[in-house]
């Protein structure tokens, strides 16, 4: 699943089109019906930003194209005119490059800044940890940490992978209710998520310690990593019961 860091990588790759007048096509029928190509074709692309898991493409004239990749979407930036099989959702073309969106998921044209109701962005250069903490504390405190960290209204950009890895880094069990965690512990989890995800944007993804490693040994304490479904959306939590202690009753 694309997480905030994938969206930031896509935003970086798309910078080659910024400042250019772009040709816009929507080959996929589900995208074509939105009338996006007709309204954007030939306009100058002014800015591309990643906001949480959203990519916002700002065009001249105040038009903003919002793309959310959900589970399957992918952006590719390649040389213009490269042969391809299938119908992408969107193609943005400059004289030299093409940005291609596959399996679009969410694509909408907005007139103003979207009211995304997102929490502070974990990938910001100087993340607003205080703001994140305040939002986490405003939630019902029996909510489990692993579930709350995926709520984009509280913290924007964290997905299931970096949630699991950040909790492991900070030795916090995903099953502990927020009310049982000190501010320092929550801060450590958020800081770990920020550090790991910034590293992932800058270079190769840092190694995983628990994510999709159920049944294998924890590299820190040798405990056996477990997995279980968590939260309303039944996302899989991965954790080491040896060094991420507390709240396990909820996992069984």
Looking only at residues 221 through 240 of this chain, which bind Zn ion when binding is defined by CB under 5 A?
221, 223, 240
Q: How far apart are CA 179 and CA 5, in angstroms?
A: 29
- Residue 238 CB, nearest distance to Zn ion (Å)? 11
| Pure H helices in 203-235 | none
Minimum CB distance to Zn ion smaller for 27 or for 223: 223
Q: How far apart are CA 70 and CA 7, in angstroms?
A: 11
Query: Does 53 qualify as catalytic in the annotation?
Result: yes
SS3 148: helix
Minimum CB distance to Zn ion smaller for 199 or for 216: 216
- Residue 212 CB, nearest distance to Zn ion (Å)? 16
Q: How far apart are CA 53 and CA 55, in angstroms?
A: 7
- Residue 242 CB, nearest distance to Zn ion (Å)? 4
Q: How far apart are CA 124 and CA 43, in angstroms?
A: 28
Catalytic residue among 3, 98, 144, 169: 3
Minimum CB distance to Zn ion smaller for 77 or for 214: 214
Catalytic residue among 13, 66, 76, 235: 235
Q: Which stretch binds Zn ion (CB under 5 A): 24-32, 55-63, 206-214, 241-249?
A: 241-249
Task: Mention every residue, 6+ apart, whose C-beta is less than 8 A from residue 205.
Answer: 5, 199
Q: Is 218 in the site for Zn ion (CB under 5 A)?
A: yes
- Residue 162 CB, nearest distance to Zn ion (Å)? 18
What distances in angstroms separate CA 215 from CA 95, 184, 221, 227, 245, one per listed residue?
51, 30, 14, 8, 17
Q: Which stretch binds Zn ion (CB under 5 A): 63-71, 171-179, 191-199, 219-227?
A: 219-227
Query: Does 235 qualify as catalytic in the annotation?
Result: yes
Give burial (CB, 10 Å; 0-12/13-18/19+) of 222. Answer: exposed
Q: By the criterion CB under 5 A, which residues form the site for Zn ion?
A: 218, 220-221, 223, 240, 242-243
Give me the active site residues, please.
Answer: 2-3, 53, 235
């Amino acid at each position: 699943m694309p997480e905030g860091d994938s969206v930031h990588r896509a935003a970086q790759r798309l910078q080659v089109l910024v400042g250019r007048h772009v040709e816009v096509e929507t080959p996929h029928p589900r995208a074509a019906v939105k009338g996006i190509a007709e309204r954007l074709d030939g306009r100058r692309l002014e800015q591309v930003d990643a906001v949480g898991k959203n990519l916002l493409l700002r065009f001249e004239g105040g038009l903003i194209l919002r793309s959310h990749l959900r589970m399957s979407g992918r952006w590719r930036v390649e040389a213009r005119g490269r042969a391809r099989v299938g119908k992408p959702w969107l193609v943005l073309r400059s004289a030299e490059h093409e940005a291609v969106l596959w399996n679009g998921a969410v694509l909408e044209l907005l007139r103003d800044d979207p009211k995304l109701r997102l929490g502070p962005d974990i990938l910001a250069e100087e993340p607003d940890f205080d703001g994140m903490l305040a939002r986490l504390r405003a939630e019902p405190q029996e909510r489990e940490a692993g579930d709350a960290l995926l709520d984009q209204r509280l913290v924007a950009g964290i997905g299931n992978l970096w949630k699991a890895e950040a909790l492991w880094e900070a030795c916090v069990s995903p099953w502990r209710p927020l009310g049982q965690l000190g501010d320092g512990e929550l801060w450590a989890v958020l800081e770990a998520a920020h550090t790991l995800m910034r590293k992932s944007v800058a270079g190769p993804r840092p190694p995983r310690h628990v994510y999709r490693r159920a049944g294998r040994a924890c590299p820190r304490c040798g405990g056996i990593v477990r997995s279980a479904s968590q939260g309303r959306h039944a996302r899989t939590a991965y954790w080491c019961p040896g060094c991420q202690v507390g709240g396990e009753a909820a996992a069984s």
